[in-house]
Amino acid sequence: MNIYSKKHILKFIIIIIFYNTIGCEGQSVSSNFNKKSKVKIEEIFSQSLQQGSFFSSSGKNLICWSPGNNIIKKYDIKKRKFYDEYKTEIKDSKQYIDFANIGKDSLVFFHWMDNYTMYLTYRGKIIKTYNLTPKKSENILSCIKSGHPTCNLDGTDRNTLIGDYFYFSAYKMGEKFIDKLYSGGKINLKTGKFEYFTEFPEIYRNYNWGAMRYYFPYITINKLKQIVVSYPACHDIFVYDTKKGTKKRIKSGSSLFKTIKPYSDKKEIVLELKSEYMKYYEQNYAYGDISYDRRRKLYYRLAVFPNINYGKSSDNTRKKSLIVLDKNFKFIGEVVLPTDKNYHNLTDTDYELVVIYYDFSKSTYGFTLFKINIL
């Protein structure tokens, strides 16, 4: 073999290594693909709830909100029963797409149809009102950190309050390219000052990922007050240090699939093709919610698989897997969740991992408590 051939082979190897390690910038391959898993899960129990329930966690309890009757209930995970029910002052509650727990019976509600209004409540009473109307130049719809079952938004973290600032994820409407592709915001609950704190990664500028679903970021906050973000179209996760104002990218893709195919490399606005976008999303891979386990110092991330029954059945349950990372974001393993329920959101508790689901056969929401075993 001559020197010229050796140089070309070396160049080819370097290119292959680069494209397999560039994370989410382009149609890359998951860095964890085919890695051996050291994780097993054990289902402890499931609890079915009424239709239209939303969830948040306070550690020992789940906080359940039913927009239909505007009732807040607490669910004791250990005793497996509801208690402490009260009504909220939120009007037209069916219009509110999200809520979140920030501790000590304080909840935040977000209304995207009423000029992006946010409400801070204490045991149902409105304490303060905030307006988060984005500027006309910002083509974005912001949503708070909560578990909205019907649109598969963020997970149900215990608390995304750091100091006086409440942090929440956001998603972009449409495919129009803009200078700032924001994906997260924060609001000072004392002053009402609103700021964006992060943007979508570059892959969202390079490709068309369809409307809505691939633009739902998921966030969690660890003990170091770092915000960890999972983007549906990106193998990597992003860690934002709120104290230092820095960010870093961590390889944390699935071990069970290699790539996520974009809808198109064109960025035109084609919102009228919603059915086509939904078909694309349902028949493609993606990433979902992420949650930090404070008790065990682990990270859990959902991976979403193509819906093989899409368009053939009313049951749109999709195969999901759970990726487990250690406190330093090192890959521990990945395990497929049971396929009898449509799991879509995660929440950390003082006991084990809670995964929220929607039961298509009964049209009800509920949750399952899983024990995560590290081998």
Render pLDDT for 22-62 as a digit per residue (tens, 0 to 9): 445 445 678 888 889 999 999 999 888 765 566 777 778 88
pTM: 0.85
The residues near 313 (Cβ < 8 Å, ≥ 6 apart) are none
Higher-pLDDT residue of 158 and 229 is 229
Amino acid letter at 21? Answer: T
pLDDT higher than threshold 80 for residue 272: no
| Contact of 189 with 164, CB cutoff 8 Å | yes
Q: Which helix (H) or strand (E) holds 18?
A: helix 3-19
| Contact of 297 with 326, CB cutoff 8 Å | yes
Mean pLDDT of 125-152: 54
Q: Which of 133-137, 181-185, 234-238, 339-343 has the highest mean pLDDT?
A: 234-238
Residue 270, both tokens: 């084609």
Residue 351, both tokens: 């006991």
State the pLDDT at residue 177.
52
Tell me the pLDDT tens digit for each residue of 205-257.
Answer: 888 887 667 888 888 889 898 999 999 999 999 999 988 888 999 999 999 99
State the pLDDT at residue 136.
45
State the pLDDT at residue 321.
96
Tell me the pLDDT tens digit for each residue of 300-331.
Answer: 999 999 988 887 776 778 899 999 999 999 99
The residues near 169 (Cβ < 8 Å, ≥ 6 apart) are 143, 144, 145, 153, 154, 183, 184, 216, 217, 218, 219, 229
pLDDT higher than threshold 80 for residue 20: no
State the pLDDT at residue 297.
93
State the pLDDT at residue 8.
46
State the pLDDT at residue 27.
53
Out of 1.10.3470, 2.120.10, 2.60.120, 1.20.50, which CATH number does the structure's domain 49-290 have? 2.120.10
pLDDT higher than threshold 80 for residue 289: yes
| Contact of 185 with 242, CB cutoff 8 Å | no
**Minimum mean pLDDT range among 132-141, 187-196, 221-230:** 132-141
Pairing of strands 140-142, 165-172: antiparallel
Distance (Å, whole) CA 344 – CA 358:
8
Please state the φ and ψ torsions of residue 326, each to the nearest 5 degrees: -85, -175
State the pLDDT at residue 143.
44
The residues near 37 (Cβ < 8 Å, ≥ 6 apart) are 255, 332, 333, 334, 335
State the pLDDT at residue 325.
96
